[in-house]
Structure 1
Amino acid sequence: MCHSPRVCRGLGWSQLDGLRCAVVDRAALRHDQHVQHQQLPLAGRTALVTGVSRRRGIGFAVARTLATLGASIVIHHYRPHDLDQPWGGDDLDAVRAELTAALTPSARFADVSADLSDATTIPGLLQQAAAMTGRLDILVCNHAKSGDDGSILDMTPERLDAFWQVNTRSTLLLTAGFAQTRAGAQSEARRPGERIGGGRPYPAPTGRVFWMTSGQQLGPMRGEVAYATSKAALAGVTATVAAELLELGIVLNTINPGPVNTGYLDAETTDRPLDEIEQHLASTPFGRVGRPDDPAALIGWLATQDWIVGQVITSDGGFTLA
């Protein structure tokens, strides 16, 4: 049956000419699918974004951006961490409602709470994320422990371990589990330099992983030695892990968003002197620090690209040049 009679009549064809009409139908369908892919390039894919518990946060902006691009979204949160911060927690029901509203038709949403300082929670988090739609295509490791840090004189084994467990160890374990789930790659003893996948050319990438760092390799972060150490490890190992994941059809990039106001510079919640904040903002190239939507836009774009692989990308509005 012809589903495009107007097109057929316009071409001077009879509606009984089923063959030619079917060709038009298929061409129209391919065109519609192409347009939809351009508008919703992540349609049919599922993303897990960790560290999403506040509407002012980077994780929330990333999840919302991926949702508008067509992805189904699973967010992870751990509210006790936010409650210990000067800016406090957010209304999780409001977080859920706003992200659900950002979904495109047929996309789905779920949220999972997990303490990522406990490594045993990680397999369950990945399993729950994949169970929502039966697949997991994108992993954004946005979670981070901050606060309760200090100078080199304040370092203790307990403080260093606390930051390492959340910021570094959990990110590596999440990435390992994601790769095992997607590619069926199993852990086994390998010699240094030995590949974990097949030979080149590699399969077309179908998975995406994003890590977050803080630009600690570009300048000092006084009073944040434990945090800077845990994030520097991710920046340092990005190329190694990216090379291995690429063999499995997974692209890894690390984002340094630079200073982003997630509430810590707001007058009503900051623990910093207001005059210092004003001076700081005035010294930046654009008179402001980053907004959560800035790194979110970069991640949304990279989630649809193949060619940028294994990079630590700084997106700071020229902050490091000032």
Structure 2
Amino acid sequence: MSTPPSPSLPLVGRVAIVTGVSRRQGIGYAVARRLAGLGASLLVQHHRAHDLDQPWGGDDLDAVTSGLRDELVGVARLVDVAADLADPQAAEDVVARGVEAYGHVDVLVCNHARSGGDGDLMAIDATTLDGHWQVNARSTLLLTKSFAEQHDGRAGGRVVWMTSGQQLGPMRGEVAYAASKAALAGLVPTVADELVERGIVLNAVNPGPVNTGYLDLDTADRSEETLAKVLASFPLGRFGEPDDPARLIAWLATDESRWVVGQVLNTEGGFRRW
């Protein structure tokens, strides 16, 4: 694992943990593919039980891991782990599994998120708020803490969090989700300042509206008129695709991003919120 990075394969010899990699239509899968293509070895986390509760359902995990293995370069490897990040111990266990498999982890991408079970202000309760906090915010902080504890200061330490653009406009009906993601966006400068002294660069990415399969569903609350209205908000004439944010996240994982620290970066294709 000591091979120096090359311009064409800048992550050769490095290891990346990517969470929320359970569906081939998901952002996590697109990120993992990009990192593998840059030479990284991978540990990917998934929690299929969450997907099975969603309208889009679960994917074939064997197909997910097989697709990622096809992208690996040279001697790079793939390890996958099932973990429910609502469990307070799960974050530490995921990082420990990466250290056990590879000896050291260089990159952490916290892509996971809880979907569903949300509502507007008058519909939420303490249980709803706590559930989104546990998965979206608390586990991200605990993953980052465990990652920083094992990091030995070598070059290439990178952490990427995911936000949702809640600071750019309203997210009606998603109060618990927006609150948990807003907590992360607000913490980026503080945690980045602490991590940079350890040789770790932290940034966050807001991917904007990305079609991870949910826009393909035939649901009563998603009429053609509603979709056309949202689509018209994209000057490029299409919704985001998983590989769109994955390109930025992969760049942030390389040495090319070394001077970008503590930022929340929006990659929304010019999405108009007005």
Query: TM-score under structure 1 normalisation?
Result: 0.81
SS of residue matched to 1:119: coil
Aligned-partner Cα distance in 2 for 1:45–1:268: 41
Name the CA shift for 1:267/1:79 in 2 (closer, same or farther; >3 Å).
closer
- Displacement, 1:270? 8.4
Give the counterpart letter for 1:298 in structure 2: L
Aligned-partner Cα distance in 1 for 2:134–2:57: 22
* Pairs within 5 Å for 1:1-322: 37-183=6-152, 205-268=155-218, 272-304=222-254, 305-320=257-272
- Using the TM superposition, name which of 98-107 and 122-131 deviates more: 122-131
Q: Please identify which structure carries the higher helix content.
A: 1
Could you list the per-position Cα deviations for residues 255-296 of structure 1 after superposition, in whole angstroms to 9, with x for gaps in the alignment?
A: 001100001111457852233112321332111121100110
- Displacement, 1:228? 0.2
- Displacement, 1:320? 3.7
Give the counterpart letter for 1:253 in structure 2: N
SS of residue matched to 1:88: coil
Give the counterpart letter for 2:207 in structure 1: P
Aligned-partner Cα distance in 2 for 1:235–1:157: 21
Give the counterpart letter for 2:264 in structure 1: V
- Displacement, 1:155? 1.8
Aligned-partner Cα distance in 1 for 2:193–2:157: 14
- Using the TM superposition, name which of 85-94 and 270-279 deviates more: 270-279
Give the counterpart letter for 2:202 in structure 1: L
Aligned-partner Cα distance in 1 for 2:270–2:232: 13
Q: Which runs of 5 or more structure 2 residues have no equivalent in the other structure?
A: none
- Displacement, 1:174? 0.4
SS of residue matched to 2:73: coil
Contact 2:233 2:272 in 1 (8 A): no
Aligned-partner Cα distance in 2 for 1:239–1:270: 41
Aligned-partner Cα distance in 1 for 2:91–2:108: 13
Query: TM-score under structure 2 normalisation?
Result: 0.94
Q: CA RMSD in A?
A: 1.7
> Which structure would you say has the larger Rg?
1
Q: Which runs of 5 or more structure 1 residues have no equivalent in the other structure?
A: 1-32, 184-202
Name the CA shift for 1:112/1:182 in 2 (closer, same or farther; >3 Å).
same
- Using the TM superposition, name which of 131-140 and 307-316 deviates more: 131-140
Aligned-partner Cα distance in 1 for 2:77–2:154: 26
Aligned-partner Cα distance in 2 for 1:287–1:143: 27
SS of residue matched to 1:39: coil
- Displacement, 1:121? 1.7
Give the counterpart letter for 1:235 in structure 2: A
Give the counterpart letter for 1:109 in structure 2: L
Name the CA shift for 1:231/1:224 in 2 (closer, same or farther; >3 Å).
same
Give the counterpart letter for 1:167 in structure 2: N
Partner residue, 1:198: none
Aligned-partner Cα distance in 1 for 2:221–2:205: 26
